[in-house]
Structure 1
Amino acid sequence: MFDYTVATDKSMNDAIESIKESLEDEGFGILWMFDMKEKLQEKELEFQKELRVLEVCNPQEAQRVLNENQMAGYFLPCKIVVYEDNGQTKIGMPKPTALISLLNDDNMKLFAKDIEDRLISCIDKSK
């Protein structure tokens, strides 16, 4: 499976605040948050769905991964998406193991699995 996604009873803003806190506990920070609805409407395009993309990074882990294989830069920073689907807030991400498998590098798969497990834990804590 390419992604990991959970549903929550929290509002979009509460889910984002919760994921921010759990990421900080794991040494990750939100580098940037992109509001897809706002950006598309700014371009005068019709889009009513709430969808925010959070670019997240742990600088020490990014350095470790990039020192191992610079091609990992294609997958950094990690993305977590918070969106509404049929009235319910969802939190998800593409799995780092699925992305990094494109490099065919066994060492990188181990790094990706560690990061993936930690991000899944953050998402689960944020539900």
Structure 2
Amino acid sequence: MRVPTPFADTVAIVRAALAEQGFGVLTEIDVRATLRVKLDVDMEDYLILGACNPQLAHRALDIHREIGLLLPCNVVVRTHNDATVVEVVDPDILVVHTRQPALRPIAREARAGLAAALDAIVKRCTASA
């Protein structure tokens, strides 16, 4: 989704909205900085946040230990032309990839939490613009 707020402001809003839904950011990859240092390539702002809800992750790991390959849920914040874009992985990938139907309720809860976070992000970014 595209939002009207600057990149840095959007990152702060995304972090706060995720936290309110029980998701902590476990990892952060600054793709722009990494490519600049490693390849001397310049690109737009591009940040990957690895978001995790500990309760949901614990339940998922109890069902299928290999689920760690798909955790945490990635959230991307990037610039595109004159806008900032926020993208979130679909937690249904947990069920599709593992073929574990018992993960459906967890994926559903994760999707609901991420959707609520996205709604909050849109509201805050629109109000800030």
Deviations 1:28-87 (A, max 9, x none): 111122110100000133132110000111112111110111121111011100001122
Structure 1 residue runs without a partner (length 5+): 1-5
- 1:20-99 correspondence to structure 2 within 5 Å: 20-99=15-94
Contact between 2:67 and 2:94, CA under 8 Å: does it hold in 1? no
For residue 42 of structure 2, what is the amino acid of its counterpart? F
CA distance in 1, matches of 2:15, 2:121: 9
Structure 2 residue runs without a partner (length 5+): 123-129
Q: TM-score, normalised by structure 2?
A: 0.87
Structure with higher helix content: 2
Percentage identity across aligned positions?
A: 25
Name the Cα RMSD after superposition: 1.3
The Cα shift of 1:99 comes to 4.3
Matched with 2:125 is none
Q: TM-score, normalised by structure 1?
A: 0.89
Contact between 2:32 and 2:45, CA under 8 Å: does it hold in 1? yes
